[in-house]
């Protein structure tokens, strides 16, 4: 088995081996891109091959920056292999062995990151079934990642599979393994991170079974503010736990914020990153002298015995951040494609690719270029001179790139439509005579990949005639590079964030200063100030269909920016002048507002 290799990859070093296979670090020969390859033996016993196919199927369904990215499933005469993303980090098991326990905020950070990976799996009907410290990776950026879907199954499957120290009661009783079983295992690991020991520690499998089925959770020394998470997460009855990982994330964020403040996650990530950095000599890429791929966040690779032993000892794989796994294998029995890896391996064997997401090429963020629109609109008495807008090039999928570029052009088109309104009436056009109102735009780039591109267009308008509607909106777009779709406010904010408490929190996060005071004056009346933020503020105005939303989220490289419409409310008493010619730009540290965002979006944003 050790001699069989897939072609197209140069083996760098072995990461782990067992009775049924091994895991190696390799590089794609054409690009030098690092990957982890998990091999299994093909022989009379077809169980290892079927297990690898099942793992590929489960992994290919899941799309999340917190889950390993699958590139290929390759089958040959003498073996089969999974080709996956390999990047730098150490397993949580190593971290706990070295340090014993984690600061509670760092433990919450580990839990949140891996729960987001589980949530992505649960969303497509996949249950991991083997969540444990060895399957959670801590990279140098402090953002935990979930790996190894070796015994994952469809939700609702009966199962006794798992690692005994973390198995839910229903798994011990061969009941249905649903998302709440993963919630139970994740809570066990969280307890271990905080306390430095597992919640149940019997010496025998029989003893562990009894404790997981009937023993109360020892909470005497557990931090009081975090106890509700453990009590619910380790409930014996699955109906009493969180229904899935995303529900757990929502409660985790609420509890963490109440216990440690708004910046709990930033502090936790920094602590965890420092902890991982102290173990950087164990990072597999660094040890092999290989640079992490450009454009990706650092993530973890771990190694273990591939298939050595029984349930819960599936081989360890590598995982990466910054890129998401995509694709879907519709059937457990993988249909073979016709693509063949060209060329002979060192052992003279050629493999057939039975699943391929993409060849592992350098995962650099696509390049952003600038284009310009120059056009005269006779009907609207408007000339666009240097209407700058952003474009993307270098994406692998031409169809997605086309969608991205179409979305990136929308704010410029919105600006043109809005400023044409200034000469909309016949009287305005007559007053203009031969003159033209002039519009130009400047592009301000925020995030530029690997998953999101956020762009703001700042207009410069020279009014020579006509009258405007008395306000100046912002022109912003954020595009998901995986789908080519522009994000809406409902993609950004949790539904609950649009309630009074959430919008008040957003208002309170605005930096104090003249701009905030001006907005407050603009929204004060006889009944006193009312909050200008609501869901309606983030959607198209029905009164002004030509205008973009009055409030728009812009994602900067190091902070969140809220772009809010500038109002021409006339002159106010000094020192405030409410007459505006542009939108307000409020810069807010991510840590102050991330809790308002949907967890799957917040996970893709920088740390302030």
For residue 527, the SS3 value is: coil
Contact between residue 312 and residue 130 where contact means Cβ atoms under 8 Å apart: yes
Alpha helices in 173-291 (DSSP H): 179-195, 205-214, 227-233, 245-260, 264-277, 284-287
Residues 6+ apart with CB under 8 A from 478: 446, 447, 452, 453, 454, 455, 486, 487, 492, 553, 554, 555
Catalytic residue among 88, 130, 263, 480: 130
Q: How far apart are CA 73 and CA 38, in angstroms?
A: 10
Strand order from edge to edge, sheet including 352-356 = 9-17, 21-28, 34-41, 79-85, 70-75, 352-356
The token duo for 362 is 């350098």
Instruction: Tell me how crowded residue 331 is: count the other CB atoms within 10 A of its CB.
Output: 8
Q: Long-range contacts: 524-529, Cβ < 8 Å, 24+?
A: none
Contact between residue 66 and residue 40 where contact means Cβ atoms under 8 Å apart: no
| E strands, 247-395, in order | 352-356, 367-377, 382-393
Domains, the chain: 1-88+283-364 (3.30.200.20), 90-277 (1.10.510.10), 367-602 (no CATH)
The token duo for 250 is 């929502």
Q: How far apart are CA 486 and CA 322, in angstroms?
A: 19
Parts of the chain with a pLDDT under 70? 1-3, 17-20, 87-88, 149-161, 280-281, 284, 286-289, 291-365, 379-380, 429, 525-527, 541-546, 568-581, 607-608
Report CA-CA distances (Å) from 445 to 81, 390, 400, 483, 489: 41, 9, 20, 20, 19
Phi and psi at residue 202, to the nearest 5°: -60, 155
Sort 72 into a burial class: Cβ within 10 Å, 0-12 / 13-18 / 19+.
Answer: buried
pLDDT in tens, 323-339: 222 222 222 223 222 22
Radius of gyration of the chain (CA): 27
Q: How far apart are CA 426 and CA 444, in angstroms?
A: 35
Residues 6+ apart with CB under 8 A from 189: 92, 110, 111, 114, 131, 132, 133, 136, 166
Active-site residue 451, yes or no? no
Contact between residue 186 and residue 247 where contact means Cβ atoms under 8 Å apart: no
The token duo for 411 is 């704010």
Contact between residue 588 and residue 515 where contact means Cβ atoms under 8 Å apart: no
Closest C-alpha to 110, from 192, 168, 222, 228: 192
Instruction: Please give the span between the terminal C-alpha atoms of the chain, in angstroms, as a whole number.
Output: 48
Closest C-alpha to 307, from 446, 130, 482: 130
Instruction: Give, to the nearest 10 degrees, the angle between helix 245-260 and helix 104-123.
Output: 160
Q: How many helices (H) and strands (E) does the chain have?
A: 17, 24
| Pairing, β 475-480 against β 584-588 | unpaired
């Amino acid at each position: 088995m050790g001699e069989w290799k897939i072609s197209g990859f140069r083996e760098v070093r072995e990461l782990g081996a067992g009775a049924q296979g091994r895991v190696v670090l390799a590089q794609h020969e054409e690009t030098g891109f690092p990957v982890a390859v998990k091999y299994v033996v093909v022989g009379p016993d077809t169980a290892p091959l079927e297990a690898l196919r099942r793992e590929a199927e489960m992994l290919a369904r899941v799309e999340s920056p917190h889950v390993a990215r699958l590139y290929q499933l390759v089958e040959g005469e003498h073996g089969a292999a999974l080709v996956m993303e390999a990047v730098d980090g150490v397993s949580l098991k190593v971290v706990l062995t070295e340090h014993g326990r984690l600061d509670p905020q760092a433990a919450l950070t580990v839990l949140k990151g891996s729960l987001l990976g589980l949530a992505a799996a649960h969303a497509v009907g996949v249950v991991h079934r083997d969540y444990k410290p060895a399957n959670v990776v801590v990279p140098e950026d402090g953002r935990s990642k979930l790996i190894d879907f070796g015994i994952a199954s469809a939700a609702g499957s009966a199962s006794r599979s798992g690692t005994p120290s973390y198995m839910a009661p229903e798994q011990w009783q061969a009941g249905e393994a649903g998302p709440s079983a993963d919630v139970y295992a994740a809570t066990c690991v969280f307890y271990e991170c905080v306390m430095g020991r597992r919640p149940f520690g019997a010496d025998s499998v029989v003893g562990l079974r009894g404790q997981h089925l009937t023993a109360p959770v020892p909470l005497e020394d557990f931090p009081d503010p975090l106890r509700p998470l453990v009590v619910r997460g380790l409930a014996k009855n699955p109906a009493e736990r969180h229904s899935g990982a995303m529900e757990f994330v929502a409660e985790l964020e609420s509890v963490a914020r109440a216990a440690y403040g708004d910046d709990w996650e930033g502090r936790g990530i920094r602590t965890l990153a420092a902890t991982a950095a102290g173990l950087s000599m164990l990072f597999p890429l660094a040890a092999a002298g290989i640079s992490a791929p450009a454009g990706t966040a650092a993530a973890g690779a771990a190694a273990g015995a591939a298939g050595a032993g029984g349930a819960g000892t599936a081989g360890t794989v590598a995982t990466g951040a910054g890129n998401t796994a995509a694709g879907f294998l519709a059937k457990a029995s993988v249909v073979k494609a016709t693509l063949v890896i060209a060329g002979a391996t060192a052992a003279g064997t050629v493999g057939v690719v039975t699943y391929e997401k993409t060849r592992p090429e350098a995962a650099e963020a696509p390049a952003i270029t600038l284009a310009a629109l120059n056009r005269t609109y006779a009907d609207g008495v408007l000339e666009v001179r240097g209407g700058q807008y952003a474009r993307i090039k270098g994406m692998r999928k031409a169809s997605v790139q086309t969608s991205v570029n179409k979305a990136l052009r929308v704010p410029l088109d919105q600006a043109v439509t809005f400023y044409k309104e200034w000469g909309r009436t016949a009287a305005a056009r007559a007053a203009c005579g031969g003159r033209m109102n002039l519009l130009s735009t400047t592009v301000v780039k925020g995030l530029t990949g690997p998953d999101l591109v956020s762009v703001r267009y700042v207009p410069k308008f020279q009014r020579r005639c006509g009258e405007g509607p008395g306000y100046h909106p912002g022109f912003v777009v954020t595009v998901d590079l995986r789908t080519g779709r522009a994000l809406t406010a409902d993609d950004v904010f949790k539904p609950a964030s649009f309630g009074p408490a959430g919008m008040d929190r957003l208002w309170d996060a605005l930096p104090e200063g003249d701009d905030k005071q001006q907005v407050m004056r603009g929204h004060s009346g006889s009944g006193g100030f009312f909050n200008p933020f609501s869901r309606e503020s983030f959607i198209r105005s029905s009164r002004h269909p030509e205008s973009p939303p009055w409030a728009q989220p812009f994602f900067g490289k190091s902070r969140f920016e809220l772009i809010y419409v500038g109002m021409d409310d006339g002159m106010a008493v000094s020192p405030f002048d409410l007459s505006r010619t542009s939108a307000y730009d409020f810069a807010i540290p991510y840590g102050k507002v991330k809790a308002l965002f949907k967890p799957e979006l917040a996970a893709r944003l920088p740390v302030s």
